[in-house]
Amino acid sequence: MSSPAKFQAAYADGKVLRTKLDIHARFSTVPTDIPAAVVRAIGAPSDGYVIDIGCGTGELIEHLAGLGHTGNLVGLDLVRPPLPDTARKRYVAGDAAYVPWPDESFDAVLCVHALSHLPNLGGAIREAQRLLRPGGVYVATANSIHSYPHVAAYRARIHALLDWGEPTFTTSHVNAENLERLLAPFWGEVSVQLLSGELRIPIGEFVNYFNANIATWDRSLTDKEQAAISGMVGAWARHDERNGHLVEPKVVAVATCRI
């Protein structure tokens, strides 16, 4: 897992996350509709107050606003997304373990694909509990360790070739397989739904997708190393392609928790 500083730098201008979201939007032959699952879990649209911790580009907050949600919406991340605030919608830069809001401020706390990036998982969950009003809901998601097998295999191959040791993935510590077990000690009720999908990515786009992930690795690469890795990944992808595409199955766990 990247250090907070490395992760913040990689996502500072939004390009990395936008590239990954764009690939998923265009090439998910079987989408995993995480926004729809979150909407169902929190009963949106409503007048409930919602905070998305680790909001990224603000996609989920914008989705809720677009549905006509009338309660206050807050998106928080290490880097504030460059989106305008409104009377009911606000974006802030901040730390998941130290959210600048009083106790019992929100009816729903969201943590979508963010738990695996948190250095203090327990502190962040306790902070979410502090923020929740009585009867509130906490929703967290995580990818399966079996998602994106080509990305995982190519990265492991790169680490072996360059003698970097075993790679650490975002799913190494928090994943669909252990999400319920990790959350259970903190919550009285935890239910998990699995969403299954598939990416079918053209070879050229796959290399761009892989390169976007490199920015979050726990290593700093020279331009020469970056170019060499891109060349290797392109060659491996062409070897493994099916009709000009790589097929990446993906599974996401959506956990809905209550105190």
User: Model confidence at 7, in pLDDT bands (50, 70, 90)?
Assistant: low
Q: Examine the pLDDT at 146 and tell me if it is beyond 90.
A: yes
Q: What is the mean pLDDT of residues 98-123?
A: 96
Rounded Cα distance between 124 and 55, Å, is: 14
pLDDT at 14: 67
Q: Please measure the distance between the N-terminal and C-terminal CA atoms of the chain and give it in whole angstroms.
A: 29
The DSSP secondary structure of 69-97, one letter per residue, reads: --S-EEEEESS--S----SSEEEEE-BTT
- Neighbouring C-beta atoms of residue 66, cutoff 10 Å: 10
What's the distance, CA 198 to chain centroid? 16
- pLDDT 10s digits, 217-232: 878 889 999 999 999 9
* pLDDT tens-place string over residues 151-209: 999 999 999 999 999 999 999 999 999 999 999 999 999 999 999 999 999 999 999 99
Q: How far apart are CA 219 and CA 4, in angstroms?
A: 13
DSSP 3-state assignment of 255?
strand
Q: What is the mean pLDDT of the segment spanning 128-154?
A: 97
Q: Tokens standing for 108? A: 């729903």
Residue 140's pLDDT is what?
98
Looking at residue 9, its pLDDT comes to 61
Max Cα-Cα span within the chain: 55
For residue 108, what are the CA distances in angstroms to 18, 112, 195? 25, 12, 21
In sequence order, the 6+-apart residues with CB closer than 8 A to the CB of 72 are 49, 50, 88, 89, 90
Report the alpha-carbon distance of residue 42 to residue 50 in Å, rounded.
Answer: 9
- Taking CA atoms, 39 is separated from 63, 84, 199, in Å, by 9, 22, 23
What type of residue is 119? Answer: P
For residue 143, the cross-strand partners are 252
What is residue 106's DSSP assignment?
E
Check pLDDT > 60 for residue 4: no
**Predicted confidence band at 48 (pLDDT cuts at 50, 70, 90)?**
very high
d(CA 252, CA 174): 12
Phi, psi at residue 113, to the nearest 5°? 55, 35
In this predicted model, which residue has the larger pLDDT, 215 or 118? 118
Predicted pLDDT at 167: 93
